Amino acid sequence: MQWAIVIAAFLASAVEFVEAFTLVLVAGITVNWRSAIVGALAAVATLAVIIATLGVTLVTLVPLDVLRFVIGFLLLLFGLKWLKNAIQRYSGLKLLHDEEAIYATRVAEARARGEPVKTGLDTFGVLLSYKSVLLEGLEVAFIVISFGGSGPNGIGLAALGAAAAGVLVIGAGTLVQAPLQRIPENTLKFIVGIMLTTFGTFWSGESFGINWPFSDLFLLLLALIYLAASILLITAMKQLQSRTALATTSPKTTTLSQK
Amino acid sequence: MRIILKVILAVYNFFVGDLVILIGVSLTMVILALIHSLDALAPLRGGSGAILIVGVLATLVATLGREVMRPKA
């Protein structure tokens, strides 16, 4: 019975930790690690205050659905903006963005002026990391309280399971982040746009009481739906661009050939 | 007054920066809220997940469509 509590809390919390860590990773790789870590630590501190103040009554006092709605809505706004920019770049409607080249130029300019290089906090990075860790952290707290209430010393055992899941996910994520850094910037932004839109849809849907099929596994299916739709949109926009280009150049070609 | 407007604009640009996305996502949320609160729309509740996904995709298509139609400078 006691092992059942530890294992159940471990498995359920691992899913939440993976969701939170994914977005921290996104903030770390695409913005900077300082912002991602500050956001995550701030969320952990907020969680500590909430849990220390409310304790077990957390389950009844924190409106998790409201939190899911607000965070889901914001992630949808962010995600669609990123996805739109990425699709525009891939379809040729916008110039491809070479962040590394821009960064190198800025660093060189700053050095030439004798200014220190800015690697400070970025509001977007901090906020993205903060809200995902806060929401998922609260869900882990709910899991610990719900599973822990079913036996003697239950909360301690469930917390042990959750902590083990946290250590495992963070450890695995640390190993994964190095190869992720090698992905080209535009590809990464495209993936991030899809991920933010996926999480935004999932959480805002849950806030309305939508029971997604296959539970959290539906996140993968949602990501595939958005990926397929984005690829279709890129193809359609490329065709539209080439048709427009042909339409604008063909009269000139005709007149030239007539001459 | 000017400072307040600047603050509102800065917040808007940070979170959205695109009116079509804001209107599209908000409209989808309003439709979902109506489906889940009005009894007359209760039969649609089973498909609210699909409605949400379609709303998000329609918003994406609409904002990209506006960029395509926008005259180039």
Taking an 8 Å cut-off on Cβ atoms, the answer to whether A84 and B68 are in contact is no
Choosing among A66, A80, A123, A238, which should be mutated to test the B contact, i.e. which has the most B CBs within 10 A?
A80
How far apart are the CA of B13 and the nearest CA of chain A, in angstroms?
11
- In chain A, the percentage of residues whose pLDDT exceeds 70 is 82
Distance CA B29, CA A75 (A): 13
Instruction: Give the list of residues 6+ apart from residue A27 with CB closer than 8 angstroms, or none.
Output: A35, A36, A39, A124, A125, A126, A128, A129
pLDDT in the model for residue A115: 54
Distance CA B51, CA B44 (A): 9
State pLDDT tens for residues B11-29: 777 777 889 999 999 999 9
Q: For residue A212, how far is the Cα from the chain centroid?
A: 19
Confidence category of residue A241, pLDDT binned at 50, 70, 90: confident
Answer yes or no: are the C-beta atoms of B68 and A229 closer than 8 Å. no
CA–CA distances in Å: residue A100 to residues A113, A115, A174, A191: 20, 19, 22, 18
**Residue type at A8?**
A
pTM, two decimal places = 0.73
The residue-averaged pLDDT of B22-41 equals 94
State pLDDT tens for residues A51-106: 888 777 777 777 888 888 988 898 899 889 889 989 998 888 776 655 555 555 65
* Token couple for A108: 């060189």
| A74 contact residues in B (CB cutoff 8 A) | 15
Taking an 8 Å cut-off on Cβ atoms, the answer to whether A208 and B36 are in contact is yes
Answer yes or no: are the C-beta atoms of A196 and A30 closer than 8 Å. no
Percentage helix, strand, coil for chain A under 3-state DSSP, each rounded to 5:
85, 0, 15
The residue-averaged pLDDT of A214-236 equals 93
